[in-house]
Amino acid sequence: MGRTIIVSPLSQPVLLFDGDCGLCHACVRFLLRQDKTGRLRFAALQSPIVQTFLREQGLPTEDFETLVFVPDWGQRTTGGYLLRTEGVLAACAVAGGRAGWLAKLSIVPRRWRDAAYRSVGRSRFRLFGIYRRRPLEDPEWEQRFIDGWK
């Protein structure tokens, strides 16, 4: 495994994901493999710290239909987050590697991207199931979760 550079999670970009979703966990693991510099952090939408953030931002705290990307977790109280494909593409850009290439999908109109995102989101549990906890490929990745939810 590549060497990971660990930086304080307070000033890092954080991707908030549905901790019960198999597809979301597959995306997180893909991003972990691509992010060789270790910049991107992760947190489950169900975790207490994220629930507080969601309430402060007026976002749903129970219906997790989207990933939320927070560009600077240290500045989260002042707003600044991206939803759906905007958030996914921003996380891909931060991760780099093959994920960075996916960020180029931003040329597709957001309306079209988000329509496809919502369609997959509605059937994600049927298609990908509920996440079943399993060890991470690289134990160092555990430090990349700001809430301990893996």
Angle at the Cα of 125 from the Cα atoms of 121 and 130, rounded to 5 degrees: 130
Instruction: Give dist(CA 59, CA 53) in Å, integer.
Output: 8
Domain count, the chain: 1
**What does the mean pLDDT of the chain come to?**
81
CA dihedral 117, 47, 55, 74 (to 10 degrees): -90
- Per-residue pLDDT tens over the stretch 5-26: 444 446 789 999 988 888 888 8
Across 78-83, average pLDDT: 81
pLDDT tens-digit series, residues 89-123: 999 999 998 888 878 878 778 889 888 777 777 77
Token pair recorded at residue 18: 């549905």
Residue 133 domain-assigned? yes
Whether 3 is in a domain gets the answer no
pLDDT of residue 3 exceeding 50, the answer is no
16 located within any domain:
yes
Query: pTM above the 0.85 mark?
Result: no
- Residue at 18 is within a domain: yes
In a domain, 5, yes or no: no
Q: Which domain holds residue 25?
A: 10-144
Give the CA angle between residues 94, 86, 93 to the nearest 5°: 15
Per the domain annotation, does 1 fall within a domain? no
Classified as helix, coil or strand, 54 is: helix
